[in-house]
């Protein structure tokens, strides 16, 4: 069978487990289609599992009768997991995601900015021009908005997509916009260069599976109560479907300690860097819900090694239809872009020192 494959899972059996009970475990593994080698120790046996071990691991084998422990030797998310460094000395196998003319990952950095939502053709065009002139390389703007209240502005829907297409043609900037429903993927993909999955939909597995089938980059935002393991397994849904273009976004997690009950988890940036080859960007806007915190958190995210930022900008925050309280003005955004460039230069200097 698969005996030439490396062992991916070891089941540590109870000391002195009788052969009849061990064989029960073996036959369950046989039924699951993996190959098993029994390794005899002085006081116990070990089962080495080879082959299609991931479905077995989801069945909590450590809880099976006669099993003391299960030791996983291979990542649970093989497509998302960081690959071993390439031996030829090239960059450490990081995925580079191309979003129209913008590049993220493998050392390439970019800022996505724009309003929370498209509110009108005029507003979208004005802000697109402002953020593009300031140095944003992708325009963010939602047209299908996941709002907590059903009475809140829900976005312009299809007419909003038409506006984004116009803005993209006029300003020549790539677009990231959110999709909430599998039925909208096709039309969103016609306009968007990067398709956003919002925090609330990080575990919408039907949506993730569909996005695995298309060939457009996906911006996957971390669920606001999701562990990094759950985040990477959500990315695995898209990657295992065949779409290898995924950008991860840390956007803050639920905590009573923060403004708006959210705290930006900047530790996720270095942690994800260790665990995955995918680019990681940070959204300090939803990660703080507070304009005063956006620039400091953005600077910290860049210093922590983020591959990019996602920042909300509005030229009239007082009149914004959503998230005005966290929007930077174009002027403050321009300042932030300059500061970020200075931090990147300092980091490059440190790397050479």
For residue 97, give both structure tokens.
């995601």
Q: For the window 130-159, what string marks contact with ligand PEP as x by the rule CB under 6 A?
A: ------------x---x-------------
3-state secondary structure of 131: helix
Closest CA to 61 of 53, 236, 230, 7: 53
Which residue stretch of 114-122, 174-182, 195-203, 231-239 sits at the interface with Mn ion (rule: CB under 5 A)?
114-122
> Which residues, listed in sequence order, are joined to residue 218 by a DSSP beta bridge?
195, 246
Q: Are 180 and 166 within 8 A, CB to CB?
A: no
Q: Which among 72-80, 115-123, 173-181, 342-350 is the span making contact with Mn ion, rule CB under 5 A?
A: 115-123
CB nearer ligand PEP, residue 11 or residue 117: 117
DSSP 14: P
The C-alpha atoms of residue 199 and residue 302 are separated, in whole angstroms, by 21
Tell me, residue by residue from 283 to 322, as one string, x for binding to ligand PEP by CB under 6 A and - for no binding. Answer: ---x------------------------------------
Q: Are 188 and 177 in contact (CB under 8 A)?
A: yes
Q: Tokens 């403004």 correspond to what residue?
A: 259
Report whether 117 contacts 321 (CB < 8 A).
yes
User: Strand pairing partners for 328?
Assistant: 313
Q: Which does 198 bind (CB under 5 to 8 A by kind): Mn ion, ligand PEP, none?
A: ligand PEP
* Per-position x/- string for 261-290, each x denoting binding to ligand PEP as judged by CB under 6 A, each - no binding: -------------------------x----
- To ligand PEP, the closest distance from the beta carbon of 225 in angstroms equals 12
Contacts of 133 (CB under 8 A, 6+ apart): none
Interface with ligand PEP, residue 116, by CB under 6 A: yes
CA separation for the pair 312, 298 (Å, rounded): 11
Contacts with ligand PEP by CB under 6 A: the residue count is: 9
Choose the binding region for ligand PEP from 36-44, 78-86, 121-129, 197-205 (rule: CB under 6 A): 197-205
Selected binder of ligand PEP within 22, 53, 168, 251 (CB under 6 A): 251
Q: Which stretch binds Mn ion (CB under 5 A): 108-116, 228-236, 254-262, 327-335?
A: 108-116
Stretch that binds ligand PEP, among 49-57, 194-202, 273-281, 292-300 (CB under 6 A): 194-202
Q: How many CA atoms lie within 13 A of 167 on its CB side?
A: 34
Phi first, then psi, for residue 331 (nearest 5°) are -65, -50
> Using CB under 6 A, which of 100, 198, 279, 317 touches ligand PEP?
198
Angle value at C-alpha 82, between 80 and 85, nearest 5 degrees: 150
Q: Which chain residues interact with ligand PEP by CB under 6 A? A: 116, 142, 146, 198-200, 221, 251, 286
Q: Which chain residues interact with Mn ion by CB under 5 A? A: 116, 323
């Amino acid at each position: 069978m698969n005996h030439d494959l490396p062992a991916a899972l070891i089941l540590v059996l109870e000391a002195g487990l009788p052969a009849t009970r061990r064989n029960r475990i073996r036959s369950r593994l046989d039924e699951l289609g993996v190959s098993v080698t029994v390794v005899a120790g002085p006081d116990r046996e070990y089962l080495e599992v080879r082959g299609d071990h991931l479905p077995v691991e989801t069945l909590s084998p450590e809880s099976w009768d006669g099993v003391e422990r299960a030791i996983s030797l291979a990542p649970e998310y093989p497509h998302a997991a960081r690959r071993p460094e390439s031996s030829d000395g090239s960059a450490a196998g990081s995925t580079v995601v191309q979003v129209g003319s913008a590049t993220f990952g493998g050392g390439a950095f970019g800022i996505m900015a724009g309003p929370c939502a498209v509110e009108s053709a005029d507003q979208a065009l004005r802000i697109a021009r402002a953020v593009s002139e300031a140095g944003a390389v992708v325009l963010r703007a939602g047209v299908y908005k996941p709002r907590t209240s059903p009475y809140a502005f829900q976005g312009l829907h299809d007419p909003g997509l038409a506006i984004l297409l116009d803005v993209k043609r006029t300003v020549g900037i790539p677009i990231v916009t959110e999709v909430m429903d599998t039925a909208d993927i096709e039309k969103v993909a016609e306009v968007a260069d990067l398709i956003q999955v919002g925090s609330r939909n990080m575990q919408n597995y039907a949506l993730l599976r569909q996005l695995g089938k298309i060939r457009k980059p996906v911006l996957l935002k971390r669920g606001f109560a999701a562990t990094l393991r759950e985040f990477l397994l959500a990315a695995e849904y898209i990657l295992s479907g065949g779409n290898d273009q995924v950008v991860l976004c840390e956007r803050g997690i639920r905590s009573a300690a923060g403004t708006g009950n959210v705290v930006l988890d900047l530790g996720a940036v270095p942690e994800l860097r260790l665990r995955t080859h995918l680019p990681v960007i940070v959204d300090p806007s939803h990660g703080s819900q507070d304009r005063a915190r956006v620039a400091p958190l953005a600077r910290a995210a860049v210093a922590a090694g983020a591959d990019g930022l996602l920042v909300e900008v509005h030229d009239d925050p007082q009149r914004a239809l959503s998230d005005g309280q966290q929007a930077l003005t174009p002027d403050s955004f321009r300042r932030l872009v300059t500061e970020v460039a200075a931090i990147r230069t300092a980091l490059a200097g440190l790397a050479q020192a």
